[in-house]
Amino acid sequence: MKVIAVSRAAAHVFSKEKRDDIHLLEGLGVEGDAHFGAQVQHRSRVAIDPLQPNLRQVHLIAQEWLDELAGHGFDIKPGDLGENITTTGIDLIHLPLHSVLQFGWQAQVRITGLRNPCGQLDRFQQGLKAAALGQDEKGGLVLKAGIMAVVIASGHVQSGDEIDLTLPEKPYLPLERV
């Protein structure tokens, strides 16, 4: 399990610029990113309640999903879908709620839920929103557009960092939209 790429953007834009490294700050998110802060930063959620906690400080996507999309004709690179960290070797969307990911020696995030695929995906590339939705073996909805997390330990994250996973105590709770 490792980091493929890291990205951030100071403005509220859909895609984020790939960087050499990003700095995670405990309780706040990615330094210099538009979604940095203890309170919610996503504009649609700020309009509802600007004081709600920011459970979407860090967005992670698996490179394996980007590869799957490429097999369906989509051309998507790390950072294109607004994620801060692109990973490989870990099935992000099926991790239990409150799992902890550590990057390198210090930086840690706690998973808060699934990214809700929105219409912006289709504005980026037509048909992408539908490709971000799947079904499990029981016919249940699967959201594939990555996961969201909060920073619980500050530190730098860069491409090539190893990822350590710590699962929460059982019973495991499934991820839901945040």
Report yes or no on whether pTM surpasses 0.85. yes
CATH architecture of 2-166: Beta Barrel (2.40)
Residue extents of the structural domains in the chain:
2-166
Q: Which pLDDT score, from 0 to 100, does residue 46 have?
A: 66
Mean pLDDT of the chain: 94
Q: How far is CA 177 from CA 16, 97, 113, 117, in A?
A: 21, 11, 5, 9
**pLDDT tier, 133 (very low <50, low <70, confident <90, very high otherwise):** very high
**pLDDT tier, 119 (very low <50, low <70, confident <90, very high otherwise):** confident
Q: Which pLDDT score, from 0 to 100, does residue 58 have?
A: 98
Give the tens place of pLDDT for each residue, 39-91.
888 777 767 777 889 999 999 999 999 999 999 999 999 999 999 999 999 99
Q: How far apart are CA 157 and CA 128, in angstroms?
A: 28
